[in-house]
Amino acid sequence: MEDKTLIADTHSILDAFIENGLHKKYPICCQFPHCQSLLDKHQYDEEFDIEFNDGYRHQNEK
């Protein structure tokens, strides 16, 4: 993963990052608490690292 971290301050921005594949290259820091239904609607086939402001971290390291 690259050294830059993307900041998602809304659910729609997180959706856009994932839909455009940016979660495969960059870690994402969300400015809202984790929402399992939001995470469940996406496929995560590659390495990813998504952290929420409540401390929950959704990641897969290959």
Over residues 8-24, the pLDDT tens digits come to 999 999 999 999 999 99
The verdict on pTM exceeding 0.85 is: yes
From residue 50, give the alpha-carbon distance in Å to each of 2, 40: 14, 13
Q: Give pLDDT tens digits for 19-44.
A: 999 999 999 999 999 989 988 888 87
Q: What pLDDT does residue 44 have?
A: 77
From residue 16, give the alpha-carbon distance in Å to each of 34, 39, 62: 16, 13, 23
Q: What pLDDT does residue 4 have?
A: 95
